[in-house]
Amino acid sequence: MAHPLHAYLALLDDLRVAGFHCHPIRDYFMAQRAGQGTATEPADSHTPCAYLRHDVDRMPARAVAMAEAEAERGIRSTYYFRCDARMRFPEAAMRRIADLGHETGFHYESLSRTRGDRAAAIERFARELAACRAIVPVTTVSPHGAPLAASSNMDFTASIAPESVNLLGDATDMDYSDMLYVTDTGGTFGSPHNLRDWPAGRCLTRPVPPARLMGWITLQTITQVTLSCHPERWPADYLSLLHASLRDAAANAAKKFLIASQSRIISAD
């Protein structure tokens, strides 16, 4: 499933009307270092805060469209970019989004690319991160879910000290004991097809349409939210919306087939 870009922008408007201030992910880690509030709020502020994360898996042009629409509203968020197997990034989109004032980061899949070889993955991660930094500044990173790969990237950077590679942190290392994590992984918010994108802590566990998400968040009486939206799932035109929905349906069917195959293998053991 996918949603029109205007539905995402309406959700941002809902968040702001509800009093939430929108921030890129790096602000969370800077606040952690400072040991107080958010990096841009006073220490004793209880201002509700929404951290906006975008993993750019495919179609960087849709990330640019989303980034431009956010910037028009005076909102800055974080865009994480993947590279291909030859370490090539979507450079033009990255530079444009950085120029708009958004945070740019690296969306890694080093462990799934090295098929679980952790030592090779650490070396690969360092080279890919350097290639990303040759294009745009990077102070935070996020893992690519790679739901059909045997090795999960989700806990990869736990074995790397962020300071050793000049990083503030990994987006999966945010503390969700008092923060809500909402992602469109699997096709929509709270999708049952989300296999790996579940941090420990408070998550949305049932599907909620974008127009009703703010109402649901309000019911949680929580003042910190991380909202993760993949730009490819929020196109501006309806033909692309249909295409994105069909892509998600095919991906979810593949995940179901994989799970069914694995359970047959496990029961055969």
Of 57 and 70, CB closest to Zn ion: 57
Q: What is the 8-class DSSP label of residue 20? A: P
> Per CB under 5 A, which region of 19-27, 50-58, 173-181, 258-266 contacts Zn ion?
50-58
Cβ at position 258, least distance to Zn ion in Å: 17
Min dist CB 240 to Zn ion, Å, is 19
Terminal-to-terminal C-alpha distance of the chain? 35
Instruction: Kindly indicate which of the ranges 33-41, 47-55, 202-210, 214-222 contains the residues binding Zn ion, using the contact rule CB under 5 A.
Output: 47-55
DSSP string, 166-219: T-SEEGGGS-EEEEEEEE-TTSSTT-TT--S---SEEE--S---HHHHHHHHHH
Minimum separation from the CB atom of position 145 to Zn ion (A): 5
Q: State the binding string over 92-131 for Zn ion (x if CB under 5 A, else -).
A: ----------------------------------------
Q: What angle do CA 34, 126, 134 make, to 5 degrees?
A: 85
Nearest approach, Cβ of 66 to Zn ion (angstroms)? 15
Which lies closer to Zn ion via its Cβ, residue 14 or residue 57?
Answer: 57
Residue nearest to Zn ion (CB): 144
Task: Calculate ∠ Cα 72-75-79, nearest 5°.
Answer: 105
* Cα 252 to Cα 42: distance, rounded to the nearest angstrom: 43
Q: Tokens representing 178?
A: 């008092």
Q: How far is the CB of 168 from Zn ion (least distance, A)?
A: 20
Q: What binding mask, one character per residue, do residues 6-45 give for Zn ion by CB under 5 A, x or -?
A: ----------------------------------------
Residue 86 CA: distances (Å) to CA of 51, 93, 243: 31, 18, 27
CA distances from 226 to 34, 41, 185, 217, 238 (A): 20, 17, 13, 11, 27
What whole-number distance in Å separates Cα of residue 8 and Cα of residue 260? 33
Q: How far is CA 116 from CA 109, 158, 161, 170, in A?
A: 10, 14, 19, 19
Q: Which stretch binds Zn ion (CB under 5 A): 70-78, 144-152, 166-174, 203-211?
A: 144-152
Q: Which stretch binds Zn ion (CB under 5 A): 31-39, 54-62, 94-102, 184-192?
A: 54-62
Q: Among 144, 227, 229, 241, which residue sits at the site for Zn ion (rule: CB under 5 A)? A: 144
55 counts as binding Zn ion under rule CB under 5 A: yes
Cβ contact 205:193 at 8 Å: no
In terms of CB distance, is 63 or 136 closer to Zn ion? 63
Nearer to Zn ion, 54 or 76 (CB): 54
Residue 57 touches Zn ion, criterion: CB under 5 A: yes
* Residue numbers at the binding site for Zn ion (CB under 5 A): 55, 57, 144
